[in-house]
Amino acid sequence: MVANRLYPFEPPWFSRLRWAVCAQEILEEADKKVTTQYFGVPQCLKYKAIHVADIRIQQQADGRPYLLARGDKELLVLPGHVIPELNGLKPDILLSRKSHAFALLGKLTGMQVVEKTGYHVRMLLSRISPALPDLFPLMNARISTSMELHFPSGSSGDEWTLMKPLPATVRCFSEGIALVLFGAAMVEKNPRLVHLTNELTTSIFEVAFIMRCVPSVIQQAVVWLLPSKWRMERSWRELGTFVVPEVIRQKELLASDNHNHDKSSPTSPDLITWMVKDGRTELERDPNVLTTLCGSVAAGSTYSIANFVCRALSDLTAHPDVLAAIRTELAARHVAIKGQWDLAALSGLDCLESAMKETARLAPGTIIVYSRVAEQDFFLDHGRIEVRKGQFVTVSGPARATDEAIFEDAKTYKGLRFCAEEKIEGHRAKPFRSVDSDILTWGAGRWACPGRMVADMAAKVLLIQLIDGYDFRFVGGKPIKPGSVHEFLFFHPDNQMLVRRRKDAVGIKL
């Protein structure tokens, strides 16, 4: 039983193309909780499933696994209820690095090294997340300044301005991400780093999305026909001209400090500085490896955060009652803290947190989550599910997030559902930055998104100021639907919205 395959010996390229343009429909069909369900061709291709009468699901999708033909690899889609079991497996049994590198075509995009090390993941969790109180004022200042440059200025109540929210938001977050990666001193000395991380990220995704449609046997040759491949290679080389000398400088400085028995912590809480200081192997302190790891963090964060913020703004624009509740909450907090916003003030905003969760639930960054590669054979669900060595496993995000057994009226946006009186305690115990096995915004287990604390802080810095300071309206009154390519959902860069300064803004400045 294989979803997205019409007959046993269908060429994988057809599965690739269907998945590229109709992944949501394919997964939805596979996940339908009915007694008997056919795996047919998605309706968006306007074909008829003729030869698939013998391919059926005999149980509910959340109750049994099934195979999904993605074209590049067959995935074993596991039911969401086995996630706690998966979380208990050690890295020598189940590993995420290979899956992530494979999905973004590490050999073609220059990120193959992430298969060998999760050093950047450890640093984000153990060094960067605890340093957020120190990073907050620096990141806040850079993001806020960029927001003033890229969102409409002028007096309150001016005419509506037509703009593209995603490019503006990406520019704001690029400032924050560059700060986390390279530190304030390096970014101020080399402002080109901000634009470079953005350009590199764009090229990486262009290459990966296009080449995922190309048969594997010809990818290595065809990729060089893409202008984005050449731009990406130039960006990698240019990034190295900044990072490699800095790593060498810091290694020499560290050697001098060790000679003088100086064991103090780095003064700059950025990723490069901590990776150089904590590196114990040649791989972990190799300048070229650290360049790649910094680029991979930028690729995995910039657009994902920006997409989420734009989707949240779109949802709030479509639901003015939720927007009004959040604005009331922000105004009350602003008064309570006397306008002195710090990292602690971003916590406990129940309405905002609820709306963020709801956007993440219904419009996630990817529709398949918890992607891993089995390093050994093992069994799940009391021996009922066998996973074999080398198998790629994943979980359907929508199947879990729209499960009526978990969420009432699950497919309907209810921005304040999580902060309802009967749910408020659980909501506060699991803020947006927390790993939640029902929503799966950040994945789950030991390899859940390591940058979620940074992402949560950066998203709130921008959302709070945009919600307070601006009004948003859809062009022609038509809500914006998320775009999709392969398993990724996104707010299209060309989407436009009408924006203007608010007349009754509180004037929140973080």
Distance separating alpha carbons of residues 334 and 508, to the nearest angstrom: 7
Whether 493 and 150 have beta carbons less than 8 Å apart is answered as: no
Distance separating alpha carbons of residues 431 and 45, to the nearest angstrom: 40
Distance separating alpha carbons of residues 36 and 26, to the nearest angstrom: 16
Token match 């990292």: residue? 343
Tokens encoding 280: 């114990």
Distance separating alpha carbons of residues 59 and 81, to the nearest angstrom: 14
Cα 115 from chain centre: 19
Among 32, 40, 27, CA closest to 58: 32
Longest dimension (CA), the chain: 76
Among 173, 126, 136, 130, CA closest to 275: 126
In DSSP terms, 490 is beta-bridged to 483
Among 231, 217, 172, CA closest to 462: 172
Distance separating alpha carbons of residues 467 and 506, to the nearest angstrom: 10
Q: Radius of gyration (Cα) for the chain, nearest Å? A: 23
Distance separating alpha carbons of residues 401 and 437, to the nearest angstrom: 9
For residue 393, the one-letter residue type is V
Whether 164 and 493 have beta carbons less than 8 Å apart is answered as: yes
For residue 204, the one-letter residue type is I
How many DSSP H helices and E strands does the chain contain?
A: 18, 15
Is 351 annotated in a binding site? The answer is no
* CB atoms inside a 10 Å sphere around CB 344: 10
> Residues at the annotated binding site for heme?
449
> Residues at the annotated binding site?
449
